[in-house]
A and B are shown apart, each in its own frame.
Chain A
Amino acid sequence: MQAFKPELLATAGSMEELERVIRAGANAVEIGDDRWGMRLSGSFAPAEMREALAIARGLGAKVYVNVNNLLDNRQVEELPDYLKQLERLQVDAVIFGDPAVLMVMREHGIRLRLHWGAEMTSTNSATAMYWAARGVQRVIAARELNLEEIHSFKRNISIELQVQVHGATNIYHSRRRLVQSYLDHLGKERTGTGRDRGLYLVEHERPELRLPVFEDMNGTHIMSPDDICLLEVLDELLQEPINSLKVEGLLKTAAYNETVVRSYRQAIDAWCQDPAGYRFNPEWLEAIRELQDPHRELSFGFMFKEQVY
Chain B
Amino acid sequence: MPTTTVNSIRIRQQHLRKLARPELLAPAGSLEKLKFAVHYGADAVYIGGQKYGLRSNADNFSFDEMDEGVRFARKYGAKVFVTTNIYAHEEDLDGIGEYLKTLREIGIDAIISADPAVFHVAQREVPELEVHLSTQQSVLNWKAVQFWKEQGIPRIVLAREVSLDDIILIKRKVDVEIEAFIHGAMCSSYSGRCVLSNHFTDRDSNRGGCSQSCRWKYDLYAPGDGVPDDMLASDVPVFDEDDDPFTMGSRDLAMIGHMPELIEAGIDSFKIEGRMRSIHYVASVVYAYRQAIDAYMESPDTYTLNPEWVEEIHKAANRPLNTGFFLGEPGAGNLIYGPEEKAAPFDFAGQVLGYDPSEGVAVVQQRSYFRVGQEIEFFGPQGVRFRQVISDMRNESGEQVSAARHPLEKLYVKVNGPVQPMDMLRKRSGRANG
Q: Which residues of A contact B (CB under 8 A)?
A: 70-73, 75-76, 79, 98-100, 102-104, 119-121, 123-127, 130-131, 142, 144-145, 148-149, 152-153, 156, 170-186, 188, 197-206, 210-211, 213, 222, 224-225, 291, 293-295, 302, 305-309
The contact sample of 8 A-B pairs, CB cut-off 8 A, is A71-B141, A75-B141, A100-B143, A171-B196, A172-B248, A183-B238, A309-B203, A309-B209
Bitwise, B195-238 to A at CB < 8 A (1) or not (0) is 11011101110111100011011111111000011010000001
Q: Given the complex, which residues of A lie within 8 Å of B331, measured CB to CB? A: 177, 180-181, 184
Asked if B209 and A120 sit within 8 Å, CB to CB, the answer is no
A7 vs B178: C-alpha distance when bound (angstroms): 42
Asked if A181 and B335 sit within 8 Å, CB to CB, the answer is yes
Asked if B238 and A199 sit within 8 Å, CB to CB, the answer is yes
A302 vs B201: C-alpha distance when bound (angstroms): 12
The reply on B93 being an interface residue by CB < 8 A is yes
Q: Given the complex, which residues of B lie within 8 Å of A200, measured CB to CB? A: 220-221
Instruction: Give the most central of B116, B214, B239: most A CB within 10 Å.
Output: B116
Known A172-B194, A174-B190, A204-B216; contact A71-B144, beta-carbon cutoff 8 A: yes
Interface residues of B in 141-162 (CB under 8 A from A): 141-144, 146-148, 159, 161
Q: Given the complex, which residues of A lie within 8 Å of B138, measured CB to CB? A: 70
A211 vs B90: C-alpha distance when bound (angstroms): 29
A122 vs B41: C-alpha distance when bound (angstroms): 38
**Closest Cβ–Cβ distance, residue B10 to chain A (whole Å):** 21
**Closest Cβ–Cβ distance, residue A9 to chain B (whole Å):** 22
Q: Given the complex, which residues of B lie within 8 Å of A210, measured CB to CB? A: 221
Asked if B204 and A204 sit within 8 Å, CB to CB, the answer is no
Bitwise, B120-152 to A at CB < 8 A (1) or not (0) is 100000000000000010101111101110000
A201 vs B173: C-alpha distance when bound (angstroms): 41
Q: Given the complex, which residues of B lie within 8 Å of A204, measured CB to CB? A: 216-219, 245
A75 vs B141: C-alpha distance when bound (angstroms): 9
Asked if B88 and A127 sit within 8 Å, CB to CB, the answer is yes
**Looking across the interface, which residue of chain B has its beta carbon closest to that of A185?**
B332
Q: Given the complex, which residues of A lie within 8 Å of B169, measured CB to CB? A: 73
Interface residues of B in 228-272 (CB under 8 A from A): 228-229, 231, 238-240, 243-248, 250
Known A120-B193, A121-B206, A198-B228; contact A174-B216, beta-carbon cutoff 8 A: no
Asked if A126 and B144 sit within 8 Å, CB to CB, the answer is no
**Closest Cβ–Cβ distance, residue A87 to chain B (whole Å):** 18
Q: Given the complex, which residues of B lie within 8 Å of A130, measured CB to CB? A: 116-117, 120
Q: Given the complex, which residues of A lie within 8 Å of B250, measured CB to CB? A: 176
A186 vs B89: C-alpha distance when bound (angstroms): 42
Asked if B199 and A308 sit within 8 Å, CB to CB, the answer is no
The reply on B115 being an interface residue by CB < 8 A is yes
Asked if A295 and B231 sit within 8 Å, CB to CB, the answer is yes
**Looking across the interface, which residue of chain A has its beta carbon closest to that of B192?**
A121
Known A121-B87, A130-B120; contact A294-B141, beta-carbon cutoff 8 A: no
A186 vs B200: C-alpha distance when bound (angstroms): 27
Instruction: Give the most central of A72, A73, A75, A173: most B CB within 10 Å.
Output: A73
A76 vs B174: C-alpha distance when bound (angstroms): 14
A79 vs B140: C-alpha distance when bound (angstroms): 14
Known A197-B222, A203-B218; contact A307-B203, beta-carbon cutoff 8 A: yes
State which of A124, A171, A308 has its C-beta within 8 Å of the C-beta of B204: A308
Q: Given the complex, which residues of B lie within 8 Å of A176, measured CB to CB? A: 188, 250, 329-330, 334-335
Interface residues of B in 333-378 (CB under 8 A from A): 334-335, 337
Asked if B140 and A73 sit within 8 Å, CB to CB, the answer is yes
**Looking across the interface, which residue of chain A has its beta carbon closest to that of B208?**
A309
The reply on B189 being an interface residue by CB < 8 A is yes
A86 vs B195: C-alpha distance when bound (angstroms): 32
The reply on B98 being an interface residue by CB < 8 A is no
A200 vs B200: C-alpha distance when bound (angstroms): 16
Asked if A124 and B117 sit within 8 Å, CB to CB, the answer is yes
Q: Given the complex, which residues of B lie within 8 Å of A181, measured CB to CB? A: 330-332, 334-335
A52 vs B218: C-alpha distance when bound (angstroms): 40
A127 vs B86: C-alpha distance when bound (angstroms): 12
Asked if A224 and B199 sit within 8 Å, CB to CB, the answer is yes
The reply on B62 being an interface residue by CB < 8 A is no
Known A126-B116, A182-B246; contact A309-B142, beta-carbon cutoff 8 A: no
Q: Given the complex, which residues of B lie within 8 Å of A156, measured CB to CB? A: 90
Q: Given the complex, which residues of B lie within 8 Å of A198, measured CB to CB? A: 222-223, 228
Q: Given the complex, which residues of B lie within 8 Å of A127, measured CB to CB? A: 88, 115-117
Known A185-B337, A202-B219, A204-B219; contact A172-B189, beta-carbon cutoff 8 A: yes
Known A119-B193, A205-B216; contact A309-B56, beta-carbon cutoff 8 A: yes
**Looking across the interface, which residue of chain B has its beta carbon closest to that of A69?**
B140
The reply on B65 being an interface residue by CB < 8 A is no
**Closest Cβ–Cβ distance, residue B232 to chain A (whole Å):** 10
**Looking across the interface, which residue of chain B has its beta carbon closest to that of A130?**
B116
Q: Given the complex, which residues of A lie within 8 Å of B311, measured CB to CB? A: none
Asked if A72 and B140 sit within 8 Å, CB to CB, the answer is yes
**Closest Cβ–Cβ distance, residue B158 to chain A (whole Å):** 11
**Closest Cβ–Cβ distance, residue A270 to chain B (whole Å):** 29
A75 vs B142: C-alpha distance when bound (angstroms): 11
Asked if B190 and A72 sit within 8 Å, CB to CB, the answer is no
Bitwise, B83-96 to A at CB < 8 A (1) or not (0) is 00001111111000
The reply on B325 being an interface residue by CB < 8 A is yes
Asked if A103 and B146 sit within 8 Å, CB to CB, the answer is yes
Q: Given the complex, which residues of B lie within 8 Å of A99, measured CB to CB? A: 143-144, 147-148
Interface residues of B in 307-326 (CB under 8 A from A): 325
Known A127-B117, A152-B90; contact A185-B143, beta-carbon cutoff 8 A: no
The reply on B175 being an interface residue by CB < 8 A is no
**Looking across the interface, which residue of chain B has its beta carbon closest to that of A75?**
B141
**Looking across the interface, which residue of chain A has its beta carbon closest to that of B161?**
A175
**Closest Cβ–Cβ distance, residue B267 to chain A (whole Å):** 16
The reply on B109 being an interface residue by CB < 8 A is no
Asked if A120 and B220 sit within 8 Å, CB to CB, the answer is no
State which of B136, B147, B195 has its C-beta within 8 Å of the C-beta of A102: B147
Asked if A188 and B117 sit within 8 Å, CB to CB, the answer is no
Known A124-B93, A149-B90; contact A202-B142, beta-carbon cutoff 8 A: no
Q: Given the complex, which residues of A lie within 8 Å of B203, measured CB to CB? A: 307-309
Q: Given the complex, which residues of A lie within 8 Å of B148, measured CB to CB? A: 99
**Looking across the interface, which residue of chain A has its beta carbon closest to that of B92?**
A124
The reply on B392 being an interface residue by CB < 8 A is no
**Closest Cβ–Cβ distance, residue B144 to chain A (whole Å):** 5
The reply on B59 being an interface residue by CB < 8 A is no
Asked if A307 and B117 sit within 8 Å, CB to CB, the answer is no
The reply on B68 being an interface residue by CB < 8 A is no
The reply on B67 being an interface residue by CB < 8 A is no
